[in-house]
Homo-oligomer: A and B are copies of this chain.
């Protein structure tokens, strides 16, 4: 299924409800489902994990439709490799998160 077909599928099923709820309420659902995905990753329940990925993607598609964003057009930025270094695989240097010690005053440094 293309990304555009998935966005249309979700629009056909949910757009009426999504538009009545609006973008803020739909964003709240996206975050709620992202939380369920976090739990599924932690628990490693395979069937539930697959469901939660699908649900987060579906809420992202709902929000995109409410915001008049074409997801398939949007992802074109990745078509020629990493949008920053233009390479496949990406060669960008990833910044490392600061250690908790640094953020909390150095008592764990």
Contacts and interface: CB of A to CB of B under 8 A. Distances in A.
26 contacts: A1-B3, A1-B79, A2-B3, A3-B6, A9-B78, A12-B88, A13-B81, A13-B87, A13-B90, A14-B89, A14-B90, A15-B89, A17-B90, A23-B41, A31-B34, A34-B34, A37-B63, A50-B73, A50-B74, A53-B71, A54-B71, A54-B74, A56-B60, A57-B57, A57-B74, A58-B78
Interface in A1-44: 1-3, 6, 9-10, 12-17, 21, 23, 25, 27-28, 30-31, 34, 37-38, 41
Dominant secondary structure of chain A at its interface with chain B: helix
B75 A64 contact: no
Contact of A54 (B31, B51, B75, B94): B75
